[in-house]
Amino acid sequence: MLFPGRKYSGSDWAYVQKLPFGAIPSLDAYIVSLYEHFRRNLQMSRKTKASDTTDRFHLAHLPYCDVFRADGDTSETARPLASAYKTKVVPKLQELPAQIESALRKRE
């Protein structure tokens, strides 16, 4: 519970539902990644893995990152999100240090 002791009602959820896309980037990222995940699984006949749910939750951090590390199917699922938030998705761990350095240089 976000605020202990606070009672939530249907009107709280109704308020969230009326917010425009982009008002809660982490929620938007989770929803888009879930859609992309199922779309890709249906197109490719890929079986869902136990780690897929956790990967979706990790993607909720993507809107707040310059560089995001994800491998396999998650890196592909993240691409539409990454372009929307101008985040670089790094599919290989060995590429991560160079991408971080590159992102830091851009900030200087």
Q: Which residue has the higher pLDDT, 5 or 33?
A: 33
d(C-alpha 54, C-alpha 63), whole Å: 17
Structural domain span for residue 53: 22-107
Total domain count for the chain? 1
Domain presence at residue 86:
yes
Domain presence at residue 14:
no
Kindly state the DSSP code that residue 63 receives in the 8-state scheme.
Answer: G
Mean confidence (pLDDT) of the chain: 84
pLDDT bracket for residue 6 (50, 70, 90): low
* pTM for the predicted model, two decimal places: 0.73
Domain presence at residue 6:
no
d(C-alpha 26, C-alpha 63), whole Å: 7
Domain presence at residue 8:
no
Q: Looking at residue 4, what is its pLDDT? A: 61
